Structure 1
């Protein structure tokens, strides 16, 4: 029995897929951006999306392929909301696509994101997106990824995205009395996912932990800086005194040994910092998205403090990254002095790499937070 025959037995298997994405203008003159966009996204539909759906006997259709007469906007909305499956090409953050995708997310129905590499909008960056490039080999890879996502989703169920989970949680809170909620919590404690406030509390705790990590990293940097200054003084004194190479090497070894502990600590804390960043990213982005769609006068009292915390954390991280980067540059030159310095320098370099990746993400948080603060009325 092949995969298609096996999946056909699933009663909830999607039958219809509506494809959301930029379409372009098929009537535009050749060579124009509108005509190129039409040909590009039609190619993505015909070479990537439709064949992947066809493998599981799912019919894929775009807005320009809707056969029935009627108001096109109403038809699109109905397809977005009612289709068994939606595959959305989010390349470039097209406003119409993002609006339709917002409608779809609220339904909680199966949705797969795809997008051209490097063109995913910030607001949905935390949602897994199948990336593609325009080369034929990359398009084939994207088709296989969609096929894999369909296979897993049909077999195990499609993941409910954050907006739908938030809406369902709010509906549950509004539709139940406190006693009912309490009883249900006892009955389904193991199955009940965290609510919105639980998520926000976890985010705040995580941000506090990251602030503590930054403090520990700064302390380690200061310790290494002090030790480096002391080591340089000792080595320079020996050089000026024309001390033998063995005496200078002994000083370098002492310096390397003194660096071992703070360099190891900095590397370990940077790893914890990066790991915490990875776990918090989705929650922070969800919080920022919820703040953005909430009218300023309806936002909670702690909203401004939360945004300021993201901004302050990024500023501290950028300062720490500048210090650690300077330190790594200085330390890398020492490797040529003696092999004994390689291990602590390696630890410092690893810390720089982990911090750089994490702080890039943090900068995106802060950028969104600054936009929201600037948009808040006095």
Structure 2
């Protein structure tokens, strides 16, 4: 049976673990959400993560424990990339945590995921995550699970997700065990495992698909808009002619029938677009983090094109969202006109909801891309 003592003898080099997770605000007012978040996650660090690491001679540190002076964002990125091990608390899907986690994944180094039960974000729900509850007994169990994961990793090598798996929907395949700097250095990497250029190619391909989705969405919105305009003209003619209510209702029913198909298509494409966004998010954030850490004069030729691709996609997405949101608002009023419109309007509203969430993330990509492009020319 392997013990902490034998592990320390076999691996006597200093071991470092960087803990990624929500920090909260220690200076916030007592009882405030920020202060409660600080106290909760500090407790997880002190009662669960740090003791588990210490058992195997691994030194754990959080971002607020970095002692060196300097730019904190740069220091965090370097700790995320360079540390032997990262333990990531993904509770609540904090955007900064997900960005740092994506950056870590692209390094191919050992990472252990933990999270509060019921608080795991959807986009990493398929990754094995040690779950904890706030009760003391449950925290003890979580610490033991981390210890078991460390023991197995130090003994056999850590089995890691590659960035390609993240980009392709976080689906586990025939998983490969990567030799880690923390553990067994005797294993060789799978010759077929994707490298960084392969991963960036996957990202670019995914962005091309998202651009195609956005184009399809825009065309469908234009079709619905044209049909709506035609229906409006017909209804105006009927009103001016003092047509009967039955005649007007028949016109509304025809309109509802004509937009049913494009409304369904819109919802379907919006769902695909949102799913691609979830699949791509961690990889794109990791790529942006890698670019940020690379001096502008050392970036490859494709970086500028990649950043431009993100910005162009965002512009198209914002325009498309503005169109569909405007129509979705007016379409909501149409439901009160006739029951015939309920189904197509429901489809359109669902599409608006999915696109709004996805495009919000895309705006974050584009903002980062613009900042990086500006820094390269400044």
Q: Place the TM-score, normalised by the shorter chain, in its bin.
A: 0.5 to 0.7
Q: Which residue of 1 aligns with 2:62?
A: 88
TM-score by length of 2: 0.67
In 2 relative to 1, CA 156–353 (structure 1 residues): closer, same or farther, beyond 3 Å?
farther
Structure 2 regions of 5+ residues with no counterpart? 105-112, 120-131, 166-178, 180-187
In 2 relative to 1, CA 147–261 (structure 1 residues): closer, same or farther, beyond 3 Å?
farther
Q: Which residue of 1 aligns with 2:122?
A: none
Alignment partner of 1:150 out of 134, 146, 155? 146
1:88 and 1:114 in contact (8 A); partners too:
no
Rounded to whole Å, the distance in 2 between the matches of 1:35 and 1:304 is: 44
In 2 relative to 1, CA 100–241 (structure 1 residues): closer, same or farther, beyond 3 Å?
closer
Q: Which residue of 1 aligns with 2:360?
A: 360
Compute the displacement of 1:292 (Å).
Answer: 0.9
Rounded to whole Å, the distance in 1 between the matches of 2:232 and 2:144 is: 57
Compute the displacement of 1:88 (Å).
Answer: 3.4
In 2 relative to 1, CA 266–57 (structure 1 residues): closer, same or farther, beyond 3 Å?
closer
2:20 and 2:87 in contact (8 A); partners too:
no
Q: Which residue of 2 aligns with 1:252?
A: 252
Is the deviation greater in 313-322 or in 236-245? 236-245
Q: Which residue of 1 aligns with 2:322?
A: 322
Pair member with larger Rg: 1
Rounded to whole Å, the distance in 1 between the matches of 2:350 and 2:27 is: 44
Bigger relative contact order (CA 8 A; separation at least 6): 2
Rounded to whole Å, the distance in 2 between the matches of 1:342 and 1:145 is: 50
2:267 and 2:350 in contact (8 A); partners too:
yes
Rounded to whole Å, the distance in 1 between the matches of 2:310 and 2:95 is: 24
Count of residues paired in the alignment: 313
2:271 and 2:354 in contact (8 A); partners too:
yes
In 2 relative to 1, CA 130–84 (structure 1 residues): closer, same or farther, beyond 3 Å?
same
Compute the displacement of 1:278 (Å).
Answer: 1.1
In 2 relative to 1, CA 247–313 (structure 1 residues): closer, same or farther, beyond 3 Å?
same
> Cα deviations across residues 85-136 of structure 1 (Å, max 9, x unaligned)?
7463579xx9558626633543442423468986736741647674799xxx
In 2 relative to 1, CA 318–151 (structure 1 residues): closer, same or farther, beyond 3 Å?
farther
Q: Which residue of 2 aligns with 1:293?
A: 293
In the alignment, structure 1 residue 235 sits paired with structure 2 residue 235 = yes
What CA RMSD, in Å, does the superposition of the two structures yield over aligned residues? 4.6
> Cα deviations across residues 331-371 of structure 1 (Å, max 9, x unaligned)?
10000001110110011011111111111111111011011
Q: Which residue of 1 aligns with 2:266?
A: 266
Q: Which residue of 2 aligns with 1:27?
A: none
In 2 relative to 1, CA 286–251 (structure 1 residues): closer, same or farther, beyond 3 Å?
same
- Alignment map for 1:1-378 (pairs within 5 Å): 33=27, 43-44=39-40, 47-53=43-49, 59=54, 83-84=57-58, 86=60, 88=62, 95-96=71-72, 99=75, 102-103=78-79, 105-113=81-89, 120=96, 123-124=99-100, 126=102, 130=115, 140=135, 143=139, 147=143, 150=146, 153-154=149-150, 157=153, 160=160, 188=190, 192-377=192-377
TM-score by length of 1: 0.67
Q: Which residue of 2 aligns with 1:72?
A: none
Compute the displacement of 1:161 (Å).
Answer: 7.3
Rounded to whole Å, the distance in 1 between the matches of 2:245 and 2:145 is: 63
Compute the displacement of 1:7 (Å).
Answer: 10
More helix by share: 1
Compute the displacement of 1:281 (Å).
Answer: 1.1
Rounded to whole Å, the distance in 1 between the matches of 2:2 and 2:349 is: 49
In 2 relative to 1, CA 328–83 (structure 1 residues): closer, same or farther, beyond 3 Å?
farther
